[in-house]
Amino acid sequence: MEVSVRGVTPPQTGNGRTAVITFADRIDAGRQLAARLEYLKGAAPVVLALPRGGVPVAFEVAEALDAPLDVIVVRKLGVPFQPELAMGAIGEEGVEVLDARVLAAAQVTEEQLRDIQKRERTLLDARTTLLRRERARVDLLGRTAVVVDDGIATGSTARVACEVARRLGAAKVVLAVPVASAETVRNLAEADEADEVVCVSAPRWLMAVGNHYRDFSPTSDDEVIVLLDAAARRMRGGQSVGGGPDCDIDVEIPVDAVVLKGHLHLPEPAAGVVLFAHGSGSGRHSPRNQFVAQVLYGAGLGTLLLDLLTPEEELNRANVFDVELLASRLTAATRWLRDRPDAASCRVGYFGASTGAGAALWAAAEGAAAEGTAEAGAAAEAGAPVAAVVSRGGRPDLAGPRLAEVRAPTLLIVGSADEAVLKLNQSAQAQLQCPNRLTVVEGATHLFEEPGTLAEAAILASSWFARYLLQAPTSR
C-alpha cells in the first residue's frame, strides 16, 4: 500500500541535536496540526486521540475539522520478563495485534500470553469506561479515522492505534502528530498501518517529545473528560445535559481597536456568571480552565472563558504582565456580558489564575470604586459590582495598592508545594479589606497537575461562587 506524507516541516539544519521549541503548548500544537489537515474538512472524518496527552491536540483538530472527537485506547502487551518490550497490543471490541517474531524469540507460552491479555484487557476496559463516561464509541465503519497524539518517539503505540482503527472499520487511516523524528516519519510512511502520515515538525534527532514544547505539563484524566464532553456538546449543537436549551457558543467581544474571542456557556435560567481571567500562556482553550468551567457549570453557574489578549499581543511578553491592560479588558467583557438579555440580571464573579488573578482583583477594585457613580449606575442595577473573586495559583500581589479597594468576597487557592506563590498570597491576603479566605491544597504545585488537586480547587471555587452568586444577598 502506498502511503503519503503531508505537511512535514523540513528537518533542522546544523547538527539537529538541539531541540527547537516549535509549540507553546498542546493547544498551539493542535492548531498548527489542524492547519495541515484542512484538506480533510468536508470528508466527515473522525478524530481519535491517544490519551492523555493527545487529547488536547486532537480537540483543536476536531474543532477545526468540525469532526467528532473520541479516544482510541490501546494497551501494550509486554513480554513477561521484559515488560517494556512489546509483544503486541490490544484495543476495544476485542481487537488484538500480536508480533509473532517477538513471541517466538521470547518463547512466550500460551498461558503467559493469556494471563497478560486478561490483565491488560481489564485495565483497558476500566480506562475506557472512565474516559467515555457511558458515551458510545464513535462508529468508524467506512469513515476516515484521524489518529492524533502529541508526538511520536518510537511510533509503536501509534502503529497499534492505527491498526486498531482499521480493524474497527475505518476505510482510511491518517496518522497526525505535531512532532516526530525524521526517521520515525520515514518508517511510518513505509509501514502499512496508516494511509497517510501528517507531521508538523520532523527534526533529525528527537531526544524527547516534550523538548519541542514550551509547556508540556501532564494532562490529567479530569482534563481529558472535560474536553471529550465539550466536543460531544459541540456535535450535539450546544444542547445541555438535560436536553433543554443551553447557550453554549463562541463569542467575539469588541474592545477598543481589537476583538477578543471567548466561549460563553449559560444554563437556563442563568443567575450567576463567572468570567475567567487566564494566566500567562493560557486561554479559553486551556484544558485546566475548561475543567474548572465544567465544574462551575455543573453547580448551576454560567461561564465566560476569555482570551484577554489577541494572538499578536501575546507575542509581546510584557503584555502578559500588563495587569492594568488585562483588567480593562476584563471590565469591558463584563459590560458586554451585562448587555446580553440572557445575562443582564446575573451576578458576576471573576476566576483568575496566575497573572490573571491580579487582573481580576484590579478589575473588581475598579468596579467597587465606581459603584454609585453616574457612569456605573446602569451596571449597578444589573448586579454590579463584581460579587465574588477566586484566585487559583494566582498572583494577587500584581494588583498592588488596589488590593485594599477590593470589596468582593475573595478566595485565594494555592498549592502547598508552590512555596513562592504561597508567600505572595499570604502577603496579599493581609492587604485585603473584604471578606476573604486563603485555602492551601496539599501537595499541589503551581499548575495543580497532581492527581485530584485541580478537582479540589474547582470544587472550592464552585462552592465559593455558588454562595455569593446564586444565593440571595440576605442569606450570604
The answer to whether 20 and 12 are in contact (CB under 8 A) is yes
202-261 pLDDT tens trace: 998 888 899 999 888 888 887 888 788 888 878 876 544 333 446 888 899 999 889 999
Burial label, 129 (beta-carbon count in 10 A; 0-12, 13-18, 19+): exposed
Could you tell me the strand order of the sheet in which 272-277 lies?
247-255, 258-266, 302-306, 272-277, 347-353, 388-392, 410-415, 436-441
Residue 1 has a CB neighbour count (10 Å cut-off) of 7
Domain of residue 410, CATH code: 3.40.50.1820
> What average pLDDT does range 156-170 have in this prediction?
88
Between 369 and 153, whose confidence is greater? 153
- List the grid coordinates of 52: 492523555
* pLDDT tens-digit readout, 166-215: 989 999 999 999 999 998 888 888 877 899 999 999 998 888 899 999 88
User: What gap in Å lies between CA 237 and CA 211, rounded to an integer?
Assistant: 37
351 lies in the same domain as 303: yes
- Cβ atoms of 83 and 183 closer than 8 Å: no
Residue 182 lies in a domain: yes
Same structural domain, 302 and 447: yes
**What is the per-residue pLDDT for 371?**
56
Yes or no: say if 222 and 291 are a contact pair by the CB < 8 Å rule: yes
In angstroms, rounded to a whole number, what is the distance separating the alpha carbons of residues 22 and 177?
13
Q: Same domain, yes or no, for 306 and 442?
A: yes
In whole angstroms, how large is the CA radius of gyration of the chain? 24
Pair 208, 258 in one domain: no
Number of domains in the chain: 2
- In terms of Cβ atoms closer than 10 Å to its own Cβ (0-12, 13-18, 19+), residue 51 is buried
Same domain assignment for residues 420 and 334: yes
218 inside domain: no
CA distance 161 to 176: 12
Instruction: Note whether 189 and 151 are same-domain residues.
Output: yes
Half-sphere exposure of 383 (CA within 13 A, CB side): 25
Is 73 domain-assigned?
A: yes
Per-residue pLDDT, averaged over 317-327, amounts to 90
CA distance 439 to 418: 13
Residue 150 corresponds to which cell in the numbers above? 502529541
- Host domain of residue 139: 4-212
Whether 467 is covered by a domain: the verdict is: yes
Please give the average per-residue pLDDT across 3-29, as a whole number: 65
* Same domain flag for 365 and 302: yes
Residue 284 lies in a domain: yes
Given CA atoms 290, 296, 298, 301 in this order, what sign does their dihedral have? Answer: negative
Q: Answer whether residue 233 is part of any domain.
A: no
In a domain, 34, yes or no: yes
Do 254 and 340 belong to one domain? yes
- For residue 223, tell me if it sits in a domain: no
Residue 132 sits in the same domain as residue 202: yes
User: In one letter, which amino acid is 319?
Assistant: N
- Residue 435 and residue 316 in one domain: yes
Does 452 lie in the same domain as 320? yes
CATH number for the domain spanning 164: value is: 3.40.50.2020
Q: Which of 212, 229, 264 is the last residue of a domain?
A: 212
pLDDT at 279 over 50: yes
pTM of the model: 0.60
Q: Is residue 178 domain-shared with residue 274, that is, in the same domain?
A: no
Q: How far apart are CA 31 and CA 261, in angstroms?
A: 15
